[in-house]
Every structure is written in C-alpha cells, then in structure tokens.
Amino acid sequence: MRDVEEKKENRRLPLSSVIAIICLIVVTYWFISGKMYGFYASMVFLFYSWTNMMWVSVVMLGVFQTLLLIPFRIIRLLDFKNIRDFKTETVEVGDTGSQENFLRRQFRQGNWTLTLYLLDFFVQLSTYMTIGKLFLTDFYNKALNPKFLYSFVPYPDYPLQERFFKIPYPVSTKSIDLGMETVVYVWLMIIIAELIISIVRSMIERRNRKQAELEHHHVHKAGKLSSSYMIVYGAILFVLSYILLRNFPLAWKVSIFTGDVAKPNRTFNTVTAIATFLTLMWFGVNDILKKGKIARDLGIPQKRIDRTQSTLFKEKFSSASLIGLGAFFITNQIPCAFELSIFTLEIISLFSPFTLDRMILRKIPQKVAPDSEDKEKHEVEKEFLVPAE
C-alpha cells in the first residue's frame, strides 16, 4: 500500500517542473509557429525605422538580444556554482542510460537548477536559430511579407538604405625598422625579466616555508612556474616584440572596414572566427588557472598540476580551434548580417566580466549551496589526480 502511495507521489510533478514544462511548450510554439521569427523581424525593422541604416539595425539587434537574455544571465551567474555542481554530479553518474534516469528523477523532484538550465539552453538555442533564419532570408533585396511585422512597425521602403557596415580600426601610416640588434637586446631583457621573476618567486617561497616551519604550520608549495609555461610565454613575447620592433609605428590614422550585410564577407568571417576562438580561450584559460590555484591549496604536487593544466589547455585549444574553424566555414556560406550580430554579442561577452557581471554580483548576493565549495574541491582533486596522458 505504501509503495502504491509513493508511486502516486512520484507521479505528481512539483510546481517548478510544471512551470518549466509550460514555458518550454510556449517557447516551442513560438518557434515552430513563426511568431519568434516575426518578433525578431519586427525588432530589426523597428530599429531600421529609427536609424534608416540596416547595418546599425543589425548591431542593435545584437545588443537587444543581450538585454533580452539578461534575466537568464543573472540567474546563471548567481547560480553558477550550483549549475557547475549539478553538471559534475550528472557526469559522475556513469553511462548515458543512468544519466537519463538521474535527470528524469531530478526533474520529477523539481530540481530548480535543472529547470533553469533547461529553460536557458532551449531559449538560447531557439532564439539564435531564429536570428540565423531571419538573416538568411533575402529581405535585403525582396520585400518581406508584411504579415511577419507587428502593426506598430513601419514597413520599410525599398531599396533598404545603408547596407554596408562601417567599422573603424587604427592603421599605422608611418613605421620604422629598429633593426635586428634592438630585437636581440629586447629578447635578452625578456629572458632576464623571466629569470628575475623566477628567482623572486623562489625566494618568497623559501621565506614562507621557513616562517611556517618556525610556527609549526604546514604550507603547500606553490611551485615554480613550469618550464613549458615559461617557454610558451617567452615565445609569444619574442614574436610580438619582433613584429613591433621591425615595424615600430610612428603615426596612425583611423581607417574604415566595410562590407555588405546581405553578402558573405571573407575578411569579416576571419575576424569573427578569430574572435570566437579568443573568447573561448579567454574564459577557458581563466577557468584552468583557477583550478590550478585550488589544486595547489589542496596540496597536489606542482608537477602533476603542470601536467594536468597542460592537458586541459591542449583540450581547450583544440575545441576552441574546431569551433573557430566551424564558425569560419559556416559564415562563409551566409550573409554577414548574422555574424555582425554575433560579433556584437562576442564583444559584449568579453567585457561582461568587468561590467555587467561585476554589477550583478555587487548588487545581488550569490546563491551558493552550503557544500558547494567542498564539491568544487572534490571535482578539482579528482580531475588533477587522474594521471595525465
């Protein structure tokens, strides 16, 4: 009898799961029925009615999309650690079948983190697919069906004005070659600076260890910066300094990069692909460095930390490169209005940790489970203690 009652209870979905299902049904209906397409088309032409410049309207849509998703951004940022812990728990369950059962069970129990994650993922997927579909439509040359636009949006006159985007960028107009001798001197200074940094770090570590021994405290060795990292940083500085010193700028001017939003643009495709790669690497490397710091606090040997970080860096580099190349080949086939909008989102994303994210975390306390810090340490410990291949 009790088993029957428990089964009946399990069949009753909690309020959060019911709300999530309703929201998913509404978003799916909006997406399939074309109402979402009409919404974004109306926004583009509303912005166009204000500016009479199609390329500015495309950029404004990218900004508008960012503002539209701010509620999810706030939730994702404030609930970040719980979302991360939930992903870790799901991965640790085991095979795909067990993970599906785990997710179903969590959904039936009304796991708020899972509910928000599903909604966030589906909203982003459907909206970006809709924006892509919109910019693939040749409304630049052929009049868009008026039924897609809201009644308060003025229907545009054709041909559309200002289809060519204009992005300013600095260009050196006069440069001087400072010579290979100067390059060699600068390279020697870089090597000396790295040696000084390494020596100072070693002195600080030795002093801290001696002080801890006198006070009978145990401290974790931070370890020297691994030789592989020193080589990578040195190589980057050598290349950049060589380019700069052999072409040292003396005068600048602002040039304008332009292209038609209705057509693919190989140069802009390349810029977008590189920006995508750098964005992924920026957030990925910061995460790897944070994990390394936690691993040192846990007392994991520095050599193992270096090996694991090197493996994580290679994996992040490979995945970011594949996504960047994918972005390049895909955007080569579509009008660059889509990538202009995405490029705007990437710029906002790069600056968000110093602007929007900082403001959110300052105004609203972060929601963290009591054992979240322990879970994070356990995740890092497990990741860094697995032998790196």
Give percent above pLDDT 90 in the chain. Answer: 7
In the predicted model, is pLDDT for residue 9 greater than 60? no
SS3 call for 255: strand
In the predicted model, is pLDDT for residue 30 greater than 80? yes
pLDDT in tens, 149-197: 998 999 888 888 888 888 888 888 888 888 888 888 888 988 888 788 7
pLDDT, position 99: 57
Give percent above pLDDT 70 in the chain. Answer: 69
pLDDT in tens, 318-352: 888 888 888 788 878 888 888 788 778 777 777 77
* E runs forming strands in the chain: 164-176, 248-260
Phi, psi of 305 (to 5 degrees): -60, -45
pLDDT, position 100: 60
What is the C-alpha to C-alpha distance for residues 234 and 108, in angstroms, rounded to an integer? 53
**Do 220 and 301 contact (CB within 8 A), yes or no?**
no
| Cα–Cα distances in angstroms (integers) from residue 81 to residues 17, 38, 92, 358, 367, in the given order | 21, 36, 16, 16, 8
What is the C-alpha to C-alpha distance for residues 108 and 100, in angstroms, rounded to an integer? 12
- Those residues with Cβ within 8 angstroms of residue 162's Cβ, 6 or more apart along the chain or in another chain: 51, 52, 53, 54, 55, 56
**To the nearest whole number, what is the mean pLDDT of the chain?**
76
In the predicted model, is pLDDT for residue 381 greater than 90? no
What is the C-alpha to C-alpha distance for residues 323 and 22, in angstroms, rounded to an integer? 33
What is the C-alpha to C-alpha distance for residues 378 and 295, in angstroms, rounded to an integer? 10
pLDDT in tens, 222-243: 444 445 556 666 777 888 888 8
In the predicted model, is pLDDT for residue 108 greater than 80? no
SS3 call for 253: strand
Instruction: Over range 204-224, report the average pLDDT.
Output: 56
pLDDT band of residue 46 (cuts 50, 70, 90) is: very high
In the predicted model, is pLDDT for residue 380 greater than 50? yes
Q: Say which residue the tokens 């999530």 belong to.
A: 20
Nearest alpha-carbon partner for 225 in 309, 326, 329: 309
pLDDT, position 215: 53
**What dihedral angle (degrees, nearest 10) is formed by the CA atoms of 121, 126, 128, 130?**
180
Q: Hey, which of 20-34, 91-105, 211-225 has the most confident mean pLDDT?
A: 20-34
More confident residue, 158 or 76: 158
Instruction: Over range 30-51, report the average pLDDT.
Output: 92
- Those residues with Cβ within 8 angstroms of residue 201's Cβ, 6 or more apart along the chain or in another chain: 222, 224, 225
What is the C-alpha to C-alpha distance for residues 341 and 346, in angstroms, rounded to an integer? 9
